[in-house]
Chain A
Amino acid sequence: MAEQQTNAGAGPEQESRSAQGGPGDGQGPGSAEPVPGGGGSEPGEPGGGAGPGEREPVLRSVLSWLNSAGVTIAVLLALLGFAVVIQVKSTSTDGWLSAARLQDLVRIQSDLEAREQRLRQEITSLEESQRQLSTGAQRRQAALEEATRRADELGILAGTLPAQGPGLSLRFVAGTKPIKASVVLDAVQELRGAGAEAMEISGRSGAPVRIIASTYFLDGDGGMLNVDGRYLAGPYSIVVIGDPTTMRTALKIPGGVVELVTSSGGNVLIEEREVVDVTALSEPRDLQYARPVS
Protein backbone atom coordinates (compact mmCIF):
# COMPACT_ATOMS: atom_id res chain seq x y z
CA MET A 1 0.00 0.00 0.00
CA ALA A 2 2.18 2.64 -1.09
CA GLU A 3 0.57 5.78 -0.26
CA GLN A 4 0.82 8.00 -3.15
CA GLN A 5 -1.22 10.48 -1.43
CA THR A 6 0.79 13.47 -2.17
CA ASN A 7 3.22 13.80 -5.00
CA ALA A 8 5.17 16.63 -3.64
CA GLY A 9 4.68 17.42 -0.10
CA ALA A 10 3.33 20.93 -0.11
CA GLY A 11 0.41 22.25 1.86
CA PRO A 12 -0.66 21.92 5.40
CA GLU A 13 -2.41 18.78 4.67
CA GLN A 14 0.33 16.32 5.19
CA GLU A 15 -2.10 13.93 6.48
CA SER A 16 -1.22 11.22 8.77
CA ARG A 17 -2.34 8.12 7.08
CA SER A 18 -5.20 6.78 8.92
CA ALA A 19 -4.70 3.15 9.63
CA GLN A 20 -7.96 2.27 8.14
CA GLY A 21 -7.84 -0.62 5.87
CA GLY A 22 -10.30 -1.13 3.20
CA PRO A 23 -11.18 1.52 0.83
CA GLY A 24 -9.25 4.63 0.97
CA ASP A 25 -5.88 4.63 2.43
CA GLY A 26 -4.35 7.85 3.32
CA GLN A 27 -7.26 10.02 2.65
CA GLY A 28 -6.67 13.59 2.19
CA PRO A 29 -9.70 15.64 2.29
CA GLY A 30 -8.77 19.20 2.10
CA SER A 31 -6.79 19.11 -1.06
CA ALA A 32 -3.84 17.00 -0.43
CA GLU A 33 -2.97 17.36 -4.08
CA PRO A 34 -0.51 20.15 -4.36
CA VAL A 35 -0.29 22.39 -7.35
CA PRO A 36 2.54 20.98 -9.39
CA GLY A 37 0.42 18.00 -10.08
CA GLY A 38 -1.91 20.37 -11.87
CA GLY A 39 -5.17 20.20 -10.02
CA GLY A 40 -6.33 16.76 -9.66
CA SER A 41 -4.26 14.83 -12.03
CA GLU A 42 -6.07 11.65 -12.65
CA PRO A 43 -3.59 8.99 -13.03
CA GLY A 44 -2.34 7.11 -10.10
CA GLU A 45 -4.46 8.72 -7.66
CA PRO A 46 -5.50 9.16 -4.22
CA GLY A 47 -6.85 6.05 -2.91
CA GLY A 48 -3.32 4.91 -3.09
CA GLY A 49 -2.95 1.31 -2.87
CA ALA A 50 -6.51 0.50 -2.10
CA GLY A 51 -8.83 -0.67 -4.73
CA PRO A 52 -9.14 1.64 -7.66
CA GLY A 53 -11.84 4.21 -6.81
CA GLU A 54 -14.12 1.95 -4.91
CA ARG A 55 -17.26 3.73 -3.77
CA GLU A 56 -18.68 3.17 -0.38
CA PRO A 57 -21.99 1.49 -0.35
CA VAL A 58 -24.86 3.90 0.24
CA LEU A 59 -25.94 2.32 3.52
CA ARG A 60 -22.53 2.70 4.97
CA SER A 61 -22.37 6.34 3.98
CA VAL A 62 -25.70 7.00 5.62
CA LEU A 63 -24.60 5.24 8.79
CA SER A 64 -21.35 7.10 8.83
CA TRP A 65 -23.24 10.33 8.75
CA LEU A 66 -25.14 9.42 11.84
CA ASN A 67 -22.19 8.81 14.08
CA SER A 68 -20.54 11.48 16.14
CA ALA A 69 -18.16 12.43 13.40
CA GLY A 70 -21.14 13.12 11.20
CA VAL A 71 -22.67 15.34 13.80
CA THR A 72 -19.41 17.15 14.17
CA ILE A 73 -19.22 17.62 10.45
CA ALA A 74 -22.73 18.97 10.41
CA VAL A 75 -21.86 21.39 13.16
CA LEU A 76 -18.73 22.50 11.37
CA LEU A 77 -20.59 23.05 8.15
CA ALA A 78 -23.25 25.01 9.95
CA LEU A 79 -20.54 27.16 11.45
CA LEU A 80 -19.09 27.65 7.99
CA GLY A 81 -22.41 28.77 6.57
CA PHE A 82 -22.86 31.05 9.51
CA ALA A 83 -19.42 32.59 9.10
CA VAL A 84 -19.81 33.07 5.36
CA VAL A 85 -23.06 34.91 5.81
CA ILE A 86 -21.85 37.23 8.53
CA GLN A 87 -18.62 37.95 6.70
CA VAL A 88 -20.46 38.84 3.53
CA LYS A 89 -22.81 41.08 5.44
CA SER A 90 -20.00 42.76 7.28
CA THR A 91 -18.16 43.49 4.05
CA SER A 92 -21.22 44.80 2.30
CA THR A 93 -22.34 47.08 5.10
CA ASP A 94 -19.06 48.36 6.48
CA GLY A 95 -16.97 48.01 3.40
CA TRP A 96 -13.56 46.53 3.50
CA LEU A 97 -12.02 49.68 4.79
CA SER A 98 -13.27 49.13 8.30
CA ALA A 99 -11.66 45.71 8.46
CA ALA A 100 -8.45 46.62 6.72
CA ARG A 101 -5.06 46.29 8.25
CA LEU A 102 -3.23 49.18 9.79
CA GLN A 103 -0.50 49.10 7.15
CA ASP A 104 -3.05 49.10 4.39
CA LEU A 105 -4.86 52.01 5.92
CA VAL A 106 -1.63 53.94 6.36
CA ARG A 107 -0.74 53.29 2.77
CA ILE A 108 -4.15 54.39 1.61
CA GLN A 109 -3.91 57.52 3.68
CA SER A 110 -0.52 58.47 2.29
CA ASP A 111 -1.79 57.86 -1.23
CA LEU A 112 -4.71 60.13 -0.55
CA GLU A 113 -2.46 62.81 0.89
CA ALA A 114 -0.23 62.70 -2.16
CA ARG A 115 -3.28 62.99 -4.36
CA GLU A 116 -4.55 65.91 -2.35
CA GLN A 117 -1.22 67.63 -2.80
CA ARG A 118 -1.32 67.18 -6.54
CA LEU A 119 -4.86 68.41 -6.76
CA ARG A 120 -4.06 71.50 -4.73
CA GLN A 121 -1.24 72.35 -7.06
CA GLU A 122 -3.53 71.86 -9.97
CA ILE A 123 -6.05 74.19 -8.34
CA THR A 124 -3.46 76.93 -7.88
CA SER A 125 -2.21 76.68 -11.42
CA LEU A 126 -5.73 76.74 -12.80
CA GLU A 127 -6.61 79.74 -10.68
CA GLU A 128 -3.52 81.48 -11.95
CA SER A 129 -4.39 80.87 -15.57
CA GLN A 130 -7.95 81.96 -14.91
CA ARG A 131 -6.65 85.22 -13.48
CA GLN A 132 -4.44 85.77 -16.48
CA LEU A 133 -7.24 85.05 -18.88
CA SER A 134 -9.62 87.39 -17.13
CA THR A 135 -7.16 90.29 -17.04
CA GLY A 136 -6.33 89.58 -20.64
CA ALA A 137 -10.01 89.70 -21.41
CA GLN A 138 -10.35 93.00 -19.59
CA ARG A 139 -7.46 94.47 -21.50
CA ARG A 140 -8.94 93.32 -24.77
CA GLN A 141 -12.27 94.73 -23.73
CA ALA A 142 -10.72 98.09 -22.93
CA ALA A 143 -8.84 98.11 -26.22
CA LEU A 144 -12.03 97.23 -28.04
CA GLU A 145 -13.93 100.07 -26.39
CA GLU A 146 -11.14 102.49 -27.19
CA ALA A 147 -11.11 101.42 -30.79
CA THR A 148 -14.87 101.68 -31.06
CA ARG A 149 -14.86 105.18 -29.64
CA ARG A 150 -12.17 106.27 -32.03
CA ALA A 151 -14.02 104.75 -34.95
CA ASP A 152 -17.13 106.66 -33.96
CA GLU A 153 -15.28 109.95 -33.68
CA LEU A 154 -13.56 109.50 -37.00
CA GLY A 155 -16.79 108.41 -38.61
CA ILE A 156 -18.54 111.53 -37.48
CA LEU A 157 -15.69 113.71 -38.64
CA ALA A 158 -15.46 111.94 -41.97
CA GLY A 159 -19.19 112.09 -42.46
CA THR A 160 -19.74 108.36 -42.70
CA LEU A 161 -21.84 108.19 -39.55
CA PRO A 162 -24.98 110.15 -38.74
CA ALA A 163 -24.69 112.27 -35.63
CA GLN A 164 -26.94 113.81 -33.07
CA GLY A 165 -26.41 116.43 -30.42
CA PRO A 166 -27.04 120.00 -29.27
CA GLY A 167 -26.28 122.70 -31.81
CA LEU A 168 -27.61 125.35 -34.13
CA SER A 169 -29.83 125.55 -37.10
CA LEU A 170 -28.90 128.37 -39.49
CA ARG A 171 -30.93 129.74 -42.31
CA PHE A 172 -29.40 131.98 -44.92
CA VAL A 173 -31.98 134.21 -46.58
CA ALA A 174 -30.71 135.92 -49.67
CA GLY A 175 -31.21 139.61 -50.15
CA THR A 176 -30.94 141.25 -53.50
CA LYS A 177 -28.10 139.04 -54.60
CA PRO A 178 -27.86 135.32 -54.03
CA ILE A 179 -25.61 134.13 -51.25
CA LYS A 180 -22.12 133.49 -52.53
CA ALA A 181 -20.02 130.45 -51.94
CA SER A 182 -17.41 132.48 -50.13
CA VAL A 183 -19.96 133.53 -47.56
CA VAL A 184 -21.03 130.01 -46.96
CA LEU A 185 -17.44 128.96 -46.69
CA ASP A 186 -16.80 131.72 -44.19
CA ALA A 187 -19.68 130.51 -42.11
CA VAL A 188 -18.44 126.96 -42.22
CA GLN A 189 -14.93 128.01 -41.21
CA GLU A 190 -16.22 130.18 -38.43
CA LEU A 191 -18.29 127.31 -37.11
CA ARG A 192 -15.35 124.95 -37.27
CA GLY A 193 -13.26 127.42 -35.37
CA ALA A 194 -16.00 127.58 -32.75
CA GLY A 195 -15.86 123.83 -32.27
CA ALA A 196 -18.46 122.46 -34.64
CA GLU A 197 -18.25 118.70 -34.87
CA ALA A 198 -20.70 117.76 -37.61
CA MET A 199 -22.69 119.82 -40.09
CA GLU A 200 -24.79 119.51 -43.15
CA ILE A 201 -26.17 121.98 -45.66
CA SER A 202 -29.39 121.76 -47.56
CA GLY A 203 -31.06 123.92 -50.15
CA ARG A 204 -34.61 124.61 -51.04
CA SER A 205 -35.07 121.10 -52.30
CA GLY A 206 -33.04 117.98 -52.48
CA ALA A 207 -31.14 115.98 -49.97
CA PRO A 208 -28.78 117.69 -47.53
CA VAL A 209 -25.06 117.41 -48.09
CA ARG A 210 -22.71 116.53 -45.31
CA ILE A 211 -19.95 119.06 -44.79
CA ILE A 212 -16.59 117.48 -44.02
CA ALA A 213 -13.01 118.57 -44.23
CA SER A 214 -12.79 118.07 -47.96
CA THR A 215 -16.07 119.77 -48.87
CA TYR A 216 -15.75 122.60 -51.36
CA PHE A 217 -18.18 125.39 -52.17
CA LEU A 218 -18.40 126.94 -55.59
CA ASP A 219 -20.73 129.40 -57.18
CA GLY A 220 -22.87 127.70 -59.73
CA ASP A 221 -24.94 129.02 -62.59
CA GLY A 222 -28.14 130.82 -61.81
CA GLY A 223 -27.25 131.63 -58.24
CA MET A 224 -26.99 127.97 -57.24
CA LEU A 225 -24.37 126.73 -54.87
CA ASN A 226 -22.13 123.86 -55.82
CA VAL A 227 -21.35 121.82 -52.77
CA ASP A 228 -19.04 118.91 -53.42
CA GLY A 229 -20.45 118.59 -56.91
CA ARG A 230 -24.11 118.82 -55.86
CA TYR A 231 -26.12 121.88 -56.79
CA LEU A 232 -28.30 123.50 -54.20
CA ALA A 233 -30.70 126.41 -54.60
CA GLY A 234 -31.23 128.93 -51.83
CA PRO A 235 -32.32 129.66 -49.24
CA TYR A 236 -29.69 127.47 -47.62
CA SER A 237 -29.96 125.85 -44.24
CA ILE A 238 -27.02 124.65 -42.26
CA VAL A 239 -27.50 122.32 -39.35
CA VAL A 240 -24.50 122.06 -37.07
CA ILE A 241 -23.71 120.12 -33.91
CA GLY A 242 -21.50 121.80 -31.37
CA ASP A 243 -21.61 124.20 -28.42
CA PRO A 244 -24.51 126.49 -29.33
CA THR A 245 -23.36 129.53 -27.39
CA THR A 246 -19.84 129.56 -28.71
CA MET A 247 -20.95 129.05 -32.29
CA ARG A 248 -23.58 131.76 -32.11
CA THR A 249 -21.04 134.19 -30.68
CA ALA A 250 -18.57 133.31 -33.41
CA LEU A 251 -21.11 134.00 -36.09
CA LYS A 252 -22.11 137.30 -34.63
CA ILE A 253 -18.71 138.88 -34.14
CA PRO A 254 -18.26 142.26 -35.75
CA GLY A 255 -17.13 141.69 -39.29
CA GLY A 256 -18.36 138.13 -39.08
CA VAL A 257 -20.74 136.10 -41.18
CA VAL A 258 -23.96 137.59 -39.97
CA GLU A 259 -22.70 141.11 -40.62
CA LEU A 260 -21.48 140.10 -44.05
CA VAL A 261 -24.84 138.68 -45.08
CA THR A 262 -26.93 141.46 -43.64
CA SER A 263 -24.74 144.08 -45.23
CA SER A 264 -25.74 142.78 -48.66
CA GLY A 265 -29.40 142.69 -47.77
CA GLY A 266 -29.79 139.14 -46.65
CA ASN A 267 -30.43 137.66 -43.30
CA VAL A 268 -29.11 134.84 -41.16
CA LEU A 269 -31.56 133.20 -38.82
CA ILE A 270 -29.89 131.35 -35.97
CA GLU A 271 -31.81 128.95 -33.88
CA GLU A 272 -30.39 127.06 -30.96
CA ARG A 273 -31.57 123.53 -30.56
CA GLU A 274 -31.28 120.87 -27.87
CA VAL A 275 -31.11 118.06 -30.33
CA VAL A 276 -29.86 118.42 -33.84
CA ASP A 277 -29.80 115.53 -36.31
CA VAL A 278 -27.14 115.41 -38.94
CA THR A 279 -28.26 112.53 -41.08
CA ALA A 280 -26.58 113.16 -44.40
CA LEU A 281 -23.69 110.89 -45.10
CA SER A 282 -20.74 111.30 -47.38
CA GLU A 283 -19.12 108.58 -49.36
CA PRO A 284 -15.78 107.50 -48.02
CA ARG A 285 -13.08 108.17 -50.55
CA ASP A 286 -9.97 106.22 -51.31
CA LEU A 287 -7.03 108.49 -50.95
CA GLN A 288 -4.83 108.67 -54.00
CA TYR A 289 -1.76 110.37 -52.66
CA ALA A 290 -1.70 110.44 -48.93
CA ARG A 291 -0.63 107.38 -46.97
CA PRO A 292 -0.48 106.85 -43.22
CA VAL A 293 3.01 107.15 -41.81
CA SER A 294 3.11 104.51 -39.09
Chain B
Amino acid sequence: MIAVLALVAGAALGLYFDPTVPAVLQPYLPIAVVAALDAVFGGVRAKLDGIFDDKQFVISFISNVLVAALIVYVGDQLGVGGQLSTGVVVVLGVRIFGNVAAIRRHLFRA
Protein backbone atom coordinates (compact mmCIF):
# COMPACT_ATOMS: atom_id res chain seq x y z
CA MET B 1 0.00 0.00 0.00
CA ILE B 2 1.03 3.54 -0.57
CA ALA B 3 0.96 4.23 3.14
CA VAL B 4 3.51 1.57 3.89
CA LEU B 5 5.65 2.72 1.00
CA ALA B 6 5.53 6.27 2.29
CA LEU B 7 6.57 5.12 5.73
CA VAL B 8 9.47 3.14 4.38
CA ALA B 9 10.49 5.99 2.13
CA GLY B 10 10.54 8.38 5.06
CA ALA B 11 12.64 5.94 7.10
CA ALA B 12 15.07 5.53 4.24
CA LEU B 13 15.44 9.27 3.88
CA GLY B 14 16.12 9.52 7.59
CA LEU B 15 18.83 6.89 7.35
CA TYR B 16 20.33 8.53 4.32
CA PHE B 17 20.46 12.11 5.49
CA ASP B 18 21.15 11.29 9.12
CA PRO B 19 20.40 14.76 10.45
CA THR B 20 20.90 15.74 14.04
CA VAL B 21 17.94 16.84 16.05
CA PRO B 22 18.05 20.53 16.90
CA ALA B 23 18.39 20.98 20.63
CA VAL B 24 15.16 22.96 20.84
CA LEU B 25 13.11 20.05 19.60
CA GLN B 26 14.96 17.37 21.44
CA PRO B 27 12.61 16.86 24.40
CA TYR B 28 9.53 16.93 22.18
CA LEU B 29 10.46 14.69 19.34
CA PRO B 30 9.96 11.37 21.17
CA ILE B 31 6.53 12.45 22.43
CA ALA B 32 5.53 13.65 19.00
CA VAL B 33 6.59 10.37 17.48
CA VAL B 34 4.54 8.36 19.97
CA ALA B 35 1.52 10.60 19.41
CA ALA B 36 1.85 10.17 15.68
CA LEU B 37 2.08 6.42 16.14
CA ASP B 38 -1.11 6.55 18.13
CA ALA B 39 -2.82 8.36 15.28
CA VAL B 40 -1.51 5.86 12.76
CA PHE B 41 -2.72 2.86 14.72
CA GLY B 42 -6.07 4.52 15.13
CA GLY B 43 -6.16 5.03 11.42
CA VAL B 44 -5.34 1.41 10.69
CA ARG B 45 -8.03 0.28 13.07
CA ALA B 46 -10.55 2.62 11.49
CA LYS B 47 -9.54 1.27 8.14
CA LEU B 48 -10.17 -2.28 9.26
CA ASP B 49 -13.41 -1.23 10.86
CA GLY B 50 -14.39 0.34 7.60
CA ILE B 51 -14.81 3.83 8.90
CA PHE B 52 -11.58 5.34 7.70
CA ASP B 53 -11.72 8.89 6.55
CA ASP B 54 -8.54 10.41 5.28
CA LYS B 55 -9.35 13.94 6.27
CA GLN B 56 -10.08 12.67 9.73
CA PHE B 57 -6.84 10.85 9.79
CA VAL B 58 -4.79 13.81 8.68
CA ILE B 59 -6.40 16.11 11.17
CA SER B 60 -6.06 13.65 13.99
CA PHE B 61 -2.46 12.98 13.15
CA ILE B 62 -1.49 16.62 13.14
CA SER B 63 -3.53 17.49 16.17
CA ASN B 64 -2.18 14.56 18.16
CA VAL B 65 1.34 15.62 17.50
CA LEU B 66 0.72 19.27 18.27
CA VAL B 67 -1.30 18.66 21.38
CA ALA B 68 1.18 16.19 22.81
CA ALA B 69 4.06 18.58 22.21
CA LEU B 70 2.05 21.44 23.63
CA ILE B 71 1.19 19.55 26.78
CA VAL B 72 4.80 18.65 27.33
CA TYR B 73 5.95 22.18 26.65
CA VAL B 74 3.45 23.66 29.08
CA GLY B 75 4.46 21.08 31.61
CA ASP B 76 8.10 22.08 31.23
CA GLN B 77 7.24 25.71 31.75
CA LEU B 78 5.22 24.87 34.82
CA GLY B 79 7.95 22.71 36.21
CA VAL B 80 6.13 19.41 36.00
CA GLY B 81 7.58 18.53 32.64
CA GLY B 82 8.80 15.11 33.66
CA GLN B 83 5.50 14.04 35.17
CA LEU B 84 3.33 15.41 32.37
CA SER B 85 5.52 13.81 29.81
CA THR B 86 5.18 10.52 31.61
CA GLY B 87 1.43 10.95 31.75
CA VAL B 88 1.16 11.71 28.06
CA VAL B 89 3.30 8.73 27.17
CA VAL B 90 1.22 6.48 29.40
CA VAL B 91 -2.05 7.55 27.88
CA LEU B 92 -0.75 7.27 24.35
CA GLY B 93 0.61 3.85 25.13
CA VAL B 94 -2.73 2.71 26.49
CA ARG B 95 -4.55 3.92 23.43
CA ILE B 96 -2.04 2.29 21.14
CA PHE B 97 -2.63 -0.96 22.98
CA GLY B 98 -6.36 -0.63 22.52
CA ASN B 99 -6.06 0.00 18.83
CA VAL B 100 -3.61 -2.80 18.32
CA ALA B 101 -5.92 -5.19 20.14
CA ALA B 102 -8.77 -4.22 17.81
CA ILE B 103 -6.53 -4.64 14.79
CA ARG B 104 -5.46 -8.02 16.02
CA ARG B 105 -9.06 -9.09 16.38
CA HIS B 106 -9.72 -8.05 12.84
CA LEU B 107 -6.72 -9.74 11.41
CA PHE B 108 -6.77 -12.99 13.25
CA ARG B 109 -10.36 -13.18 14.29
CA ALA B 110 -8.92 -13.72 17.70
Q: Which residues of A contact B (CB under 8 A)?
A: 11-13, 15, 18, 20, 23-35, 37-40, 42, 45-47, 50, 53-56, 64-65, 67, 69-70, 72-87, 89-91, 98-99, 101, 103-104
Contacts of B10 in A (CB 8 A): 77-83, 85
Chain B residue nearest to A47 (CB atoms) is B51
Contacts of A53 in B (CB 8 A): 49-50
A55 touches B76 (CB 8 A): no
Does B15 make an interface contact (CB < 8 A)?
yes
Contacts of B53 in A (CB 8 A): 18, 20, 24, 27, 29
Q: A18-B53, A27-B56 are in contact. Are A74 and B19 (CB under 8 A)?
A: no
B43 touches A83 (CB 8 A): no
B33 touches A76 (CB 8 A): no
Q: How many residues of B contact A (CB 8 A)?
A: 67
User: Among the listed B3, B56, B101, which residue makes an inter-chain contact with A29, where contact means beta carbons less than 8 Å apart?
Assistant: B56
Contacts of B57 in A (CB 8 A): 29-30, 69, 73
Q: How many pairs, one residue from A and one from B, have CB atoms within 8 Å of each other in the complex?
A: 203
Contacts of A25 in B (CB 8 A): 51
Contacts of A27 in B (CB 8 A): 46, 51-53, 56
A40 touches B20 (CB 8 A): no
Q: How far is the CA of A20 from the CA of B37 in the complex (A)?
A: 25
B interface SS class: helix
Contacts of B52 in A (CB 8 A): 24, 27, 29, 56
Minimum CB–CB distance from A39 to chain B (whole Å) comes to 3
Q: In chain B between 42 and 67, which residues have their CB closer than 8 angstroms to a CB of chain A?
A: 42-43, 45-47, 49-58, 60-64, 67
User: Among the listed B9, B56, B101, which residue makes an inter-chain contact with A81, where contact means beta carbons less than 8 Å apart?
Assistant: B9
Chain A residue nearest to B1 (CB atoms) is A65
A29 touches B60 (CB 8 A): yes
**8 tightest A-B CB contacts, nearest first:** A39-B98, A81-B10, A40-B102, A85-B14, A78-B10, A24-B51, A30-B60, A30-B42
User: Among the listed A11, A40, A64, A82, which residue makes an inter-chain contact with B14, where contact means beta carbons less than 8 Å apart?
Assistant: A82
A99 touches B27 (CB 8 A): yes
User: Among the listed B8, B27, B39, which residue makes an inter-chain contact with A101, where contact means beta carbons less than 8 Å apart?
Assistant: B27
Minimum CB–CB distance from B44 to chain A (whole Å) comes to 8
Contacts of A101 in B (CB 8 A): 27, 76, 81-82, 85
Q: A30-B56, A86-B18 are in contact. List 20 more A-B contacts (CB 8 A).
A: A24-B50, A24-B52, A27-B53, A29-B39, A30-B64, A31-B98, A33-B99, A39-B97, A39-B101, A40-B105, A47-B49, A56-B50, A67-B54, A69-B55, A77-B10, A78-B13, A82-B10, A86-B14, A86-B29, A103-B82
